[in-house]
Structure 1
Amino acid sequence: MGWFWSGASSSSAVSDRVADLARGEAIYAEACASCHGADLEGQPDWRSPGPDGRLPAPPHDETGHTWHHPDRILLDITMRGTAAVVGGGYESNMPGFGDAYTEEELRDVLEWIKTQWPERERAHQANVTAQDEATR
């Protein structure tokens, strides 16, 4: 897959900001939980395409792959949608939320999701993010 970055500021540029976790949790409940689950569990059989050929919503807990990606990719997907980020004709039910929420609000959602992960996953994702930022 051709991951790329297209405009949202890098996470290091706002690393000193304090996330509003309550706002992130509320937005997750409002905009994300209907597909990704109230407990971040995702949709059943999320690794197998459904009848429409698209993958179901993955979990955002430690059983999924969200924590494998750096902050900039997670924010880009959240803002523009998976199909826009992956490109190449990839189709996804994951919309972009950049028109409905600000970048800061979406960062709060991502930060809240991270607080739900065990320490091992949080540490891995922080390392992936640091490596990604070092190569930019």
Structure 2
Amino acid sequence: MKKKSIFAIGGALSAIIVIGLVVYGNSQTEDAGQVRLRPDDLQLVATGKKIYDANCASCHGRDFKGEPNWRERSDDGLLPAPPHDETGHTWHHPDDLLFALTKYGPAKMIGDGYQSAMPGFEDVLTDEEIIASLSYIKSRWPQEIRQRHDQMNQSAAR
């Protein structure tokens, strides 16, 4: 049963990504493709840490470990907050999608009544603050993961 659950969650996450990219791509200006995280910008990362601590750490953890059993729906039907470290799936998504998920939230991006505990931050954080918090997250990934993420961004930009 666990294998079925893992495959079902994997399929659901894949669907979220595809739908999110389509919705995001159809709803944004041509500048939207220009989102780039800057994990080597120490000043931006320091700002991002403060933003992350104030807005994200309560669910995703100050240590980026997320909530327990994040791949399994809770009794309320919602998925717990995933980790943002190398054990989670955050680094599997290009910068543009990470930005859109943070700004608009999964429910708004996916639509069709999709429920998520993750809010959108478009009325809370500026675009630069979102980029700062995501840059902070990326700055904490191992170098190998950061390089793989950079390669994915380059492929997505083509």
* TM-score calculated relative to the size of structure 1: 0.89
* Runs of 5+ consecutive residues of structure 1 not aligned to the other structure: none
What corresponds to 1:33 in structure 2?
A: 57
Of 18, 34, 48, which residue of structure 2 is paired with 1:12? Answer: 34
Q: Deviations over 1:31-55 (max 9, x none)?
A: 0000000110000000000011010
What corresponds to 2:100 in structure 1?
A: 76
Q: Which amino acid aligns with 1:22?
A: A
Distance 1:36 1:15, change over 3 A: closer
What corresponds to 2:124 in structure 1?
A: 100
Task: Tell me, in whole angstroms, the C-alpha distance in 1 between the residues paired with 2:132 and 2:69.
Answer: 28
Q: Which amino acid aligns with 1:74?
A: L
Of 89, 95, 112, which residue of structure 1 is paired with 2:136? Answer: 112
CA contact (8 A) 2:37 2:134 kept: no
Runs of 4+ in structure 1 over 3 Å off: 8-16
Question: Following TM superposition, by how much is the alpha carbon of 1:3 offset from its aligned partner in structure 2, in angstroms?
Answer: 2.1
Q: Aligned pairs, how many?
A: 133
Question: Following TM superposition, by how much is the alpha carbon of 1:20 offset from its aligned partner in structure 2, in angstroms?
Answer: 0.9
Q: Which amino acid aligns with 1:58?
A: P
Question: Following TM superposition, by how much is the alpha carbon of 1:88 offset from its aligned partner in structure 2, in angstroms?
Answer: 3.1
> Cα RMSD over matched residues?
1.9
Q: Tell me, what secondary structure is at the counterpart of 1:98?
A: coil
Of 127, 131, 136, which residue of structure 1 is paired with 2:151? Answer: 127
Q: Percent identity, aligned pairs only?
A: 43
Task: Tell me, in whole angstroms, the C-alpha distance in 2 between the residues paired with 1:64 and 1:14.
Answer: 20
* Runs of 5+ consecutive residues of structure 2 not aligned to the other structure: 1-14
Q: Which amino acid aligns with 2:147?
A: A
Q: Tell me, what secondary structure is at the counterpart of 1:92?
A: coil
What corresponds to 1:66 in structure 2?
A: 90
Task: Tell me, in whole angstroms, the C-alpha distance in 2 between the residues paired with 1:63 and 1:14.
Answer: 22
Q: Determine which structure has the larger helix proportion and give its number.
A: 2
Task: Tell me, in whole angstroms, the C-alpha distance in 1 between the residues paired with 2:48 and 2:99.
Answer: 13
Bigger drift between 87-96 and 29-38 goes to 87-96
